[in-house]
Amino acid sequence: MTEKPVDDDVREQLPAVSAATEVTRFSSTAAHAAFGVGRFLATTANDLIHGKAPTKKNVAHEVRVTFEHLGPTYVKLGQLIASSPGVFTPALSEEFESLLDRVRPASAEDVHRIIAEEFGQGADEVFATFDDEPIASASIAQVHTATLRTGEEVVVKIQRPGIADRL
């Protein structure tokens, strides 16, 4: 009897993904990438009209913004860029540093909905205090400060809405 490779076992545990889902994911990625390129070209054209050449910093900024719009997989890639200054240019590495802990956070409304779903009650019932402004926000989750009803100060890590499906 021949054993199946481990990869096959892992693959069987993954949820099936429909062709429609793959096409939607590809279309969304292509649209965000095209929008990012268009935004970059518009900015560059505007600079050129005013006699300014695009700088490395401006190019890096546009690439980072596009990565943020493309979602968590690209944010993770951006984090790799930020963590590898010897491999990437200083302008790119420095620009991508914000993706380490300052990604645009999920809305307070989404955070409160997630808490209610997970705990079965609202944040105001679970915690004595809960700060809607995160102290850090990255590709997969964000972190909020809170105080338990017992008086203990804690941090609460909230996964981004829909992150499991996107990854």
**pLDDT, average across residues 57-80:** 87
Cα–Cα separations (whole angstroms), residue 94 to 51, 64, 83: 26, 10, 9
| Reported pTM | 0.61
**pLDDT, average across residues 19-41:** 82
What are the residue ranges spanned by the domains of the chain? 6-100, 108-166
pLDDT band at 140 (very low <50, low <70, confident <90, very high): confident
Judged by DSSP in three states, 153 sits in: strand
Judged by DSSP in three states, 132 sits in: coil
C-beta separation of 118 from 132 below 8 A: no
Q: How many CB atoms lie within 10 A of CB 111?
A: 21
Q: Which helix (DSSP H) or strand (DSSP E) does residue 8 occupy? A: helix 6-13
